[in-house]
């Protein structure tokens, strides 16, 4: 897509965006009235109906059953005949589920080429070789029975009482941990709790349980990595109840604060960045501005040996092939296919659920008709570099370059999985306006359009809508995101941090007993 230079009011040439030469639709950059003339690829057309900003306009007659093409890819079939100039959306575009190709890579792909000079940020060196961008003390509940108590412990340490260099004492309450079946669900919760406590942004952590739940505290300390002074386990039953457990927890946290305050930020190569990639409250502009720009940033990170972790399995459906053809090896491709098919089986347990239930009413109001269209824009966050690895929900990320994590598309659950996997920064694109954050990982918000950015200045960090306005290119915004992330990694607070957003929601996959 060429950079549009918009001068004051939109012209016939700048009112729409034609993304690929083979596309039979264009995207309305601004609201289009009935009978409005637009010029696309040198051809004059008149709108046959009103078309909201971000929505699709047919560039030629499209027969019933014919594919509608966007991004050079089929996003569904016309459910009725569509005439040139008509609005293309749910009323005339049918979802078509596509099969995953069996043509998987048979040869190894090389990792991204490394650049000569690697930039640095000011972060916290951890003993296991990872790097922190923040210095928190975390107090996590092993089960719902301890959720209230961990909040009482954290509340004893307001931010203004903490010494310089300690970012906060945060609680991780949740509603899980008991009533689980022994198996994948319990193991997944253990990965989540392990990941948020044994995390590079956490200087010390307390795990508190009731004492008799399924997710028992002692199971964590059987792991070698947990046998250190920075991680402590307590139970309400052995401590003597809620008040006694609060006091015991406060004593442990105070000890950890003293140790954390002695830690200083030092210069660390950007190769230690592990960036989580997420989008929420998406609109049709997401795949045109913010997501491709974040993809540029992802490629820059891969080039310096850092990691970028693409998530949301439900939001690659219909676009899997774009990732499969970039897989490092057949083994990596097969893991991606495994998780997509596993998710399909998971959804099939709930009757009428399907992947196309994913676009929310807000997504559709923003111009996204179905999950294929949404996915084709969402995968752009991963850039163009080799897909180096595929991991399960909350599994620790160890590979540099682009990695995919199996998570739901539901934002708080997806962010929780990414954080538990060890990401030390998160970049979050949004077109409708999302206000989510995470307790211990900075979340950088990237707006897809300038109207929403201006309307939600308190929540947005970067305005990728300037791409649509013609004020910047995708590459320029991608580099801006990269530079801003280095600043955030060095201590600059994001809007979600300033506002105190701390959403934490583990993924419950099994039955309740």
Q: Is residue 118 part of a domain?
A: no
The pTM for the full model equals: 0.95
Note whether 213 and 240 are within 8 A (CB). Answer: no
Does 490 have pLDDT greater than 50?
yes
Q: Is residue 406 part of a domain?
A: yes
Pair 427, 360 in one domain? yes
Q: Tell me what the pLDDT averaged over the chain comes to.
A: 93
d(CA 254, CA 351): 50
d(CA 200, CA 196): 9
Q: Is residue 269 part of a domain?
A: no
Pair 253, 295 in one domain? no
Could you tell me the two tokens for 2?
A: 């060429």
Pair 241, 285 in one domain? no
Does 483 have pLDDT greater than 60?
yes
Pair 234, 183 in one domain? yes
Pair 141, 90 in one domain? no
**221, 237, 262 — which closes off a domain?**
262
Does 361 have pLDDT greater than 60?
yes
Does 105 have pLDDT greater than 90?
no
**70, 94, 118 — which closes off a domain?**
94
**CATH at residue 56:** 2.30.130.110
Q: Is residue 109 part of a domain?
A: no
d(CA 176, CA 213): 10
Pair 308, 245 in one domain? no
List the Cα angle 509/434/405 in 5-degree steps.
Answer: 40
Model pLDDT for residues 158-216, shown as the tens digit of each residue: 999 999 999 999 999 999 999 888 889 999 999 999 999 999 999 999 999 999 999 99
Percentage of the chain with pLDDT > 70? 97
Domain assignment of residue 87, given as a range: 16-94
Model pLDDT for residues 318-341, shown as the tens digit of each residue: 999 999 999 999 999 999 999 999
Query: What pLDDT, on a 0 to 100 scale, did the predictor assign at position 353?
Result: 54
Pair 252, 296 in one domain? no
Confidence of residue 352 (pLDDT cuts 50, 70, 90): low
Burial of 164 (0-12, 13-18, 19+ CB in 10 A): exposed
* Full DSSP string of 19-59: -STT-SEEEESS-B-TT-EEEETTEEEE-SS-B-TT-EEES
Model pLDDT for residues 422-448, shown as the tens digit of each residue: 999 999 999 999 999 999 999 999 999
Note whether 62 and 93 are within 8 A (CB). Answer: no
Model pLDDT for residues 363-421, shown as the tens digit of each residue: 999 999 999 999 999 999 999 999 999 999 999 999 999 999 999 999 999 999 999 99
Q: Which residue has the higher pLDDT, 444 or 2?
A: 444
Confidence of residue 6 (pLDDT cuts 50, 70, 90): very low
Q: Is residue 220 part of a domain?
A: yes
Query: What pLDDT, on a 0 to 100 scale, did the predictor assign at position 356?
Result: 65
Residue with tokens 């920064």: 425
Q: φ and ψ at 172, to 5 degrees?
A: -120, 75
Length of the chain: 513
* Full DSSP string of 53-92: TT-EEESS-B-TTPEEEETTEEEEEESS-B-TT-EESTTT
Pair 76, 159 in one domain? no
* Full DSSP string of 109-161: PPPPPPPS---EEEEEE-TTS-EESS-EEEEEESSGGGHHHHHHHHHTS-GGG
Query: What pLDDT, on a 0 to 100 scale, did the predictor assign at position 1?
Result: 44
Q: Is residue 508 part of a domain?
A: no
* Full DSSP string of 266-330: EEEEGGG-EEEEEE-S--TTTTTTHHHHHHHHHHHHHHTT-EEEE--GGGTTT-HHHHHTTBSSH
d(CA 101, CA 472): 37
**CATH at residue 217:** 3.40.1400
Query: What pLDDT, on a 0 to 100 scale, did the predictor assign at position 355?
Result: 63
Query: What pLDDT, on a 0 to 100 scale, did the predictor assign at position 182?
Result: 83
Could you tell me the two tokens for 442?
A: 């900075």
If you ran DSSP here, which 8-state letter would residue 351 be given?
Answer: T
Pair 381, 457 in one domain? yes
Pair 89, 144 in one domain? no
Q: Is residue 494 part of a domain?
A: yes
Does 139 have pLDDT greater than 70?
yes
C-alpha distance from residue 487 to each of 215, 270, 423 (Å): 38, 11, 16
Q: Is residue 218 part of a domain?
A: yes
Does 8 have pLDDT greater than 70?
no
Count of other CB atoms within 10 angstroms of residue 335: 19
501: left (phi over 0), alpha (psi -120 to 50) or beta: beta
CA quadruple 153, 154, 160, 161: dihedral sign: positive
Pair 315, 201 in one domain? no
Number of domains in the chain: 3
d(CA 417, CA 409): 11
Model pLDDT for residues 271-324, shown as the tens digit of each residue: 999 999 999 999 999 999 999 999 999 999 999 999 999 999 999 999 999 999
Pair 206, 286 in one domain? no
Could you tell me the two tokens for 491?
A: 């201590």
Strand partners, 25: 58
Residue with tokens 């060095």: 490
**94, 110, 125 — which closes off a domain?**
94
Query: What pLDDT, on a 0 to 100 scale, did the predictor assign at position 116?
Result: 76
Does 121 have pLDDT greater than 70?
yes
């Amino acid at each position: 897509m060429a950079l549009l230079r918009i001068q004051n009011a939109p012209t016939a040439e700048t009112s729409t965006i034609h993304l690929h030469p083979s596309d039979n639709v264009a995207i309305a950059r601004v609201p289009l009235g009935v009978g409005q003339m637009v010029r696309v690829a040198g051809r004059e057309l008149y709108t046959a109906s009103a078309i909201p900003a971000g929505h699709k306009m047919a560039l030629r007659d499209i027969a019933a059953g014919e594919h509608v093409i966007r991004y050079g890819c089929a996003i569904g079939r016309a459910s009725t005949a569509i005439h040139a100039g008509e609005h293309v959306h749910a009323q005339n575009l049918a979802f078509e589920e596509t099969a995953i190709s069996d043509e998987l890579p048979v040869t190894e792909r090389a990792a991204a080429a490394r650049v000569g000079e690697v930039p640095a940020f000011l972060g916290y060196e951890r003993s296991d070789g990872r790097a922190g961008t923040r210095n928190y003390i975390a107090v996590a509940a092993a089960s719902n029975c301890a959720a209230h108590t961990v909040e009482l412990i954290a509340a004893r340490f307001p931010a203004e009482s903490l010494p310089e260099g300690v970012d906060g004492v945060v609680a991780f309450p949740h509603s899980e941990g008991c009533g689980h079946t022994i198996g994948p669900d319990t193991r997944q919760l253990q990965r989540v709790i392990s990941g948020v406590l044994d995390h590079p942004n956490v200087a010390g952590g307390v795990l508190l349980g009731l004492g008799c739940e399924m997710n028992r505290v002692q199971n964590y300390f059987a792991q070698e990595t947990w046998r250190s002074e920075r991680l402590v386990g307590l139970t309400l039953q052995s401590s003597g109840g809620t008040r006694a457990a609060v006091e015991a927890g406060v004593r442990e946290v105070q000890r950890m604060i003293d140790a954390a305050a002695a830690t200083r930020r030092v210069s660390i190569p950007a190769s230690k960045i592990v960036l989580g990639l997420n989008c929420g409250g998406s609109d049709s502009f997401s795949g045109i501005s913010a997501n491709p720009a974040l993809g540029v940033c992802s490629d820059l990170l891969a080039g310096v040996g850092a990691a970028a972790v693409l998530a949301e399995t439900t939001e690659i459906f219909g676009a899997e092939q774009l990732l499969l053809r970039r897989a490092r090896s057949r083994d990596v491709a097969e893991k991606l296919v495994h998780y997509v098919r596993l998710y399909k089986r998971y959804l099939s347990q709930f009757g009428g659920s399907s992947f196309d239930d994913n676009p929310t009413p807000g997504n559709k109001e923003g111009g996204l008709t179905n999950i294929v269209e949404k996915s084709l824009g969402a995968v752009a966050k991963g850039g163009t570099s080799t897909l180096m690895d595929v991991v399960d929900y909350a599994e620790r990320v160890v590979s540099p370059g682009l990695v995919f994590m199996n998570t739901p598309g539901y934002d708080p659950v997806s962010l929780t999985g990414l954080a538990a996997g060890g990401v030390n920064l998160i970049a979050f694109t949004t077109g409708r306006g999302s206000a989510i954050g995470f307790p211990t990982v900075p979340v950088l918000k990237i707006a897809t359009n300038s109207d929403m950015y201006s309307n939600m200045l308190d929540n947005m960090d970067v305005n990728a809508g300037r791409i649509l306005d013609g004020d910047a290119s995708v590459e320029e915004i991608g580099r801006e995101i990269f530079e801003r992330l280095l600043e955030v990694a060095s201590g600059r607070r994001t809007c979600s941090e300033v506002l105190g957003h701390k959403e934490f929601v583990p993924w419950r996959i099994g039955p309740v007993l």
